[in-house]
Amino acid sequence: MTTLLRIDSSARTQGSVTRDLTARIAKAHDGAQVIHRDLAETPVPQITENWVTANFTPADDRTDAQVEILALSDDLLAELEAADTIVIGLPVYNFAPPAALKAWVDNVARVGRSFRYTAEGPEGLLTGKRAILAMASGGTAEGSEIDFASTYMRHILGFIGITDVTVVAADQMALDADASLEKASKQIESLQAAA
């Protein structure tokens, strides 16, 4: 059985386009075990100086307090490690990912866990996985020079080893919501056909 990690990051719990898209994409993966992480219901805190200190303390030398500080980060990483497919709701807030999603990224981009440094440069450790970004925006076109959301997420996923990334985009909703949603629906149908 495959495992799908569904991450919702929209501040809106009702009427969210990205939440609708992530639900539909998860449903298209019929038979997969779904882990759902809702960053609005259970926010991931911003990293702190104590978090950074704990993270850079060798695991065997961490105090009980440091282990506790990293416990949520460890849980988030365990979810990523268990998943074959990661579906991320990506609403575009001011041309970029929401702060809730950035906090999640900061907690999972950990040297020695999701990436490592080598003589040739950084190497992602979470290989062999697929990611699907369910993007929604008011006016930002996916992949455009002002899209710092999907381009950032593609980069960070690649950095931790996830290079198979597909974007389902209901972008530029303020210009033509019906056409944007129809385009996203067709992209989801293509995902189903490929599965």
Binding residues for FMN: 10
Q: Give the number of C-alpha atoms closer than 13 A to the C-alpha of residue 53, restricted to the C-beta side.
A: 9
Give CA separation, 65 vs 28, 44, 47, 62, 169, in Å: 41, 18, 15, 8, 42
Cα separation, 145 vs 153, whole angstroms: 15
Q: Which SS3 state, helix, strand or coil, does residue 188 take?
A: helix
**From the annotation, which residues make up the binding site?**
10
**DSSP secondary structure letter of residue 96:** B
Contact by Cβ (8 Å): 43, 100: yes
Check if the beta carbon of residue 18 is closer than 8 Å to that of residue 136. yes
The b/e string for 33-66 (b: 16+ C-beta within 10 A; e otherwise) is ebbebbbbeeebeeeeeebeebbeeeeeebeeeb
